[in-house]
């Protein structure tokens, strides 16, 4: 069964937007939480001893970095440099290698700087990684997008929008720039009258064939809230047998088609999309470490528990088991720790 259909048929119980009311206290679905009785100076001393010990103590480094929230890691970085006169990242680079080094350095970045780093990698060199561009810009809040743009300018001395314009083209560029504007409605309330209006608009669009108005569809997918879009997609699916991805594949092509289909998937069930990405990363001949790192690091304080739940529901095996099978040694341990196994 196509993945888009499985989102509807299997994971509808995971959608929390069916309520049109605002929840006062959202449930936390991250796997990393603030460490109790945190002391940045104590952690600095522990890390220094682990780095300077004969043979380097990777287990201690992993335990400290993964069991602290990102905000706590930033405090550790500052304390380490103050007390040692050196940057923690530089000292870790000197003693760690390969995938363990990469993910430990990722954990030291703020979320905005890590996203900026991923976007830079996705747009630098031969070829553009459109999947990463769409993933990040489609799943961050408006405030997070503004912080990413600020971090990008700070680190790379250029505006992210200008990089997007130079590395992408056509309607795909328009979609990314709309997402970068940070103008999506973020209300959790759903206006049922507006849902009906947008559903009619979507049905009309999909009946237009070669006259498909992509600009109208882009506006819908980049400006409406995800709770609203879920309602629209649900209503659309009840009123026609024509699958939305089928229409987009027929009327559009390339990056624009892929991006709009991805936006519909993220709107329907974001954790399910990340779960599917992890499945592909672990099923490939040769594990795709860059995907594992990016998702586990960026979602560990957001919704990694939900991603694990969906992963199990879809594949009847756990994410932890697949990581255990497909990765090795200390790199395996840091991934499993991010998943809450230790």
The residue with tokens 């080094």 is 101
Mean pLDDT by 10 residues, the chain (342 residues): 51 44 73 97 98 93 98 98 97 96 98 98 92 98 98 98 97 97 96 97 86 91 97 94 87 92 96 96 86 98 97 93 95 97 84
What's 53's DSSP letter?
S
Nearest CA to 278 among 321, 249, 246, 245? Answer: 321
Q: Which residue, 114, 127, 108, is CA-closest to 295?
A: 114
Token pair belonging to 75 = 């405090």
Q: What is the dihedral of CA 268, 296, 333, 29, to 10 degrees?
A: -60
Question: Six-digit token pair at 97?
Answer: 């290698």
Q: Is 215 exposed, middle or buried (0-12, 13-18, 19+ CB in 10 A)?
A: exposed
Residue 6: per-residue pLDDT: 55
**pLDDT for the residue numbered 218:** 96
**Pairwise CA distance, residues 200 & 60, whole Å:** 57
């Amino acid at each position: 069964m196509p993945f888009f259909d499985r989102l509807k048929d299997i994971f509808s119980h995971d959608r929390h937007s069916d309520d049109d009311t605002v929840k006062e206290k959202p449930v936390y679905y991250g796997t990393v939480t603030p460490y109790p009785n945190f002391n940045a100076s104590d952690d600095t001393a522990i890390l220094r001893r682990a780095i300077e010990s004969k043979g380097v103590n990777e287990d201690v480094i992993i335990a400290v970095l993964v069991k602290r929230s990102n905000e706590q890691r930033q405090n550790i970085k500052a304390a380490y440099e103050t007390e040692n006169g050196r940057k923690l990242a530089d000292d870790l680079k000197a003693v760690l290698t390969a995938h363990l080094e990469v993910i430990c350095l990722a954990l030291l970045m703020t979320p905005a700087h890590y996203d900026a780093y991923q976007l830079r990698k996705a747009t630098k060199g031969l070829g553009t990684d459109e999947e990463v561009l769409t993933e990040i810009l489609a799943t961050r809040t408006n405030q997070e997008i503004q912080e990413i743009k600020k971090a990008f300018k700070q680190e790379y001395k250029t505006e992210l929008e200008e990089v997007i314009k130079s590395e992408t083209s056509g309607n795909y560029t328009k979609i990314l720039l709309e997402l970068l504007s940070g103008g999506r409605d973020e209300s959790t309330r759903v206006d049922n009258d507006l849902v009906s209006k947008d559903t009619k608009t979507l049905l009309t669009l999909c009946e237009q064939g070669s006259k498909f108005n992509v600009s109208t569809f882009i506006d819908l997918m980049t400006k409406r809230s995800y709770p609203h879009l879920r309602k629209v997609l649900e209503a659309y699916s009840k009123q026609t047998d024509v699958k939305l991805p089928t229409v987009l594949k027929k009327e559009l092509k390339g990056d624009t088609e892929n991006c709009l289909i991805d936006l519909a998937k993220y709107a329907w069930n974001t954790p399910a999309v990340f779960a599917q990405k992890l499945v592909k990363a672990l099923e490939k001949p040769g594990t795709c470490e860059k995907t594992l790192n990016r998702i586990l690091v960026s979602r560990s304080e957001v919704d990694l528990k939900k991603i694990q739940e969906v992963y199990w529901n879809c594949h009847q095996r756990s994410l932890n088991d697949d990581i255990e099978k497909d990765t090795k040694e200390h790199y395996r341990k840091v991934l499993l720790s991010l998943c809450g196994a230790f």
